[in-house]
C-alpha cells in the first residue's frame, strides 16, 4: 500500500524528492511551499517556487500559507489524514501541532552529516570549512533545529575543487533516492525504519550566508580563499574589486585553483594568468563574471580587460 504523504519544500533542491516519491507510487495528498515571490529585473512579477511549479505539472494540490501557527492552518493540515509529512528545505519552522499532524510524523531530508551543519546553509558551510565529506540524512523531526533522531545516512565525498553548485546537484539526487528508501521502510511497518538519536558532540551551525561575508579577504591563506570561492559558487558568488578601464569594478569569482608555490602581497596579481597572492600561497582565478555579464573563463575575461602583473585587487 502506498503512503499518504504531505510534501513540504520550496527550492530546486526539493523538486527531485517530490518527483521521486510521486514516481514511487505514494499518494501526495498536498504540497506545501513558500508563497510566490517577486522576481524579474524589476521585481514586479510574482513567481511560484520550483516545488510549486513541479507540483502543478504533476497535478498535485499546492498550498502556500505565510505561517502555520494558526489553528485554522493546523486543522487543515490534520484534515488531510496523511500517514507522514516529508520536508525538504521548506523554509518555515514547523509548530508542534504540524509535527504531530500526521500518523507517523514528519521526516526531513537534510544535506549534512548531522549533528554537523545544522541550519540553513549546510552545503556552502561544509565547503567553506574545507570538509572532505558530507552527506544526506533522513531524520524524524522534533521541535529543535535539525536535532531529531536519524533514520538513514548516505555519505558523499567532497573533492578539493568541488563547488557548492556541483555538490548541491549530487546531494539533491542522493536525497531523493534516500527519502524513497525511508518511506518504503516506513510503509513496511514498525521496526523497519530504525531511528538513532543524534550525538550531543560535534554540533555546528550552518548559518545563512550573509552579503557581508561574500567579499574575498585576500589576507586569508590560499586554502581558505579557494574554499570561500567554491563554497559560494554559483550563488551568491564570492567577489572582489578590480581596476578595469580606470575604475574599480566588482567582479564575481566562480572558480579558482590553489597555487601554493607562489606568493606576494595579499591581493597582488602575480602573473598574466590571474594568479592572485593570498596571506600565504596564491589562487588562480579560472571563471569570472563582471556585473551584468556572463560567466567567462579567465582567458576570455582578459581579452576584454587588462589586469597587469603587479596590479592589486581588493
Binding-site entries for (6S)-5,6,7,8-tetrahydrofolate? 112-115
What's the sign of the alpha-carbon dihedral 254, 257, 259, 260? Answer: positive
- The per-residue DSSP string of 97-114 comes to HHHTSSSS-EEEEESS-T
Whose cell is 507522514? That residue is 84
Task: Write out the three cell numbers for 188.
Answer: 513496511
List the strands of the sheet with 62-63, edge to edge: 62-63, 27-32, 4-9, 84-88, 106-110, 133-140, 150-157
**Cα–Cα distance list, 235 to 14, 55, 211, 300 (Å):** 17, 25, 11, 21
Alpha helices in 80-162 (DSSP H): 96-99, 122-128
Q: Residues comprising the binding site? A: 112-115
Task: Write out the three cell numbers for 115.
Answer: 549533528
Count how many residues are written for the chain: 314
Amino acid at each position: 500500500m502506498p503512503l499518504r504523504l504531505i510534501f513540504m519544500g520550496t527550492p530546486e533542491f526539493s523538486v527531485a524528492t517530490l518527483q521521486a516519491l510521486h514516481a514511487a507510487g505514494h499518494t501526495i495528498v498536498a504540497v506545501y511551499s513558500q508563497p510566490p515571490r517577486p522576481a524579474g529585473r524589476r521585481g514586479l512579477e510574482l513567481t511560484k517556487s520550483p516545488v510549486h511549479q513541479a507540483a502543478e505539472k504533476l497535478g498535485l494540490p499546492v498550498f502556500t500559507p505565510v505561517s502555520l501557527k494558526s489553528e485554522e492552518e493546523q486543522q487543515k493540515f490534520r484534515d488531510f489524514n496523511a500517514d507522514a509529512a516529508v520536508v525538504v528545505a521548506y523554509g518555515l519552522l514547523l509548530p508542534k501541532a504540524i509535527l504531530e499532524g500526521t500518523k507517523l510524523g514528519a521526516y526531513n531530508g537534510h544535506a549534512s552529516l548531522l549533528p554537523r551543519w545544522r541550519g540553513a546553509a549546510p552545503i556552502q558551510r561544509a565547503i567553506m570549512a574545507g570538509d572532505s565529506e558530507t552527506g544526506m540524512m533522513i531524520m524524524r523531526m522534533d521541535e529543535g533545529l535539525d536535532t531529531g533522531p536519524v533514520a538513514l545516512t548516505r555519505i558523499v565525498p567532497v573533492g578539493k575543487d568541488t563547488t557548492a553548485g556541483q555538490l548541491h546537484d549530487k546531494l539533491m539526487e542522493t536525497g531523493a533516492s534516500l527519502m524513497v528508501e525511508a518511506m518504503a521502510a516506513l510503509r513496511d511497518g514498525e521496526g523497519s525504519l530504525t531511528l538513532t538519536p543524534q550525538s550531543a558532540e560535534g554540533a555546528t551551525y550552518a548559518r545563512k550566508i550573509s552579503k557581508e561575508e561574500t567579499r574575498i579577504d585576500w589576507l586569508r591563506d590560499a586554502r581558505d580563499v579557494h574554499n570561500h570561492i567554491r563554497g559560494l559558487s554559483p550563488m551568491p558568488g564570492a567577489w572582489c574589486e578590480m581596476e578595469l578601464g580606470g575604475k574599480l569594478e566588482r567582479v564575481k569569482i566562480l572558480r579558482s585553483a590553489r597555487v601554493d608555490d607562489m606568493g606576494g602581497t595579499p591581493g597582488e596579481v602575480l602573473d598574466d594568468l590571474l594568479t592572485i597572492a593570498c596571506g600565504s600561497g596564491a589562487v588562480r582565478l579560472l571563471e569570472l563574471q563582471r556585473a551584468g555579464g556572463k560567466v567567462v573563463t579567465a582567458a576570455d575575461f582578459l581579452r576584454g580587460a587588462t589586469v597587469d602583473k603587479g596590479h592589486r585587487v581588493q
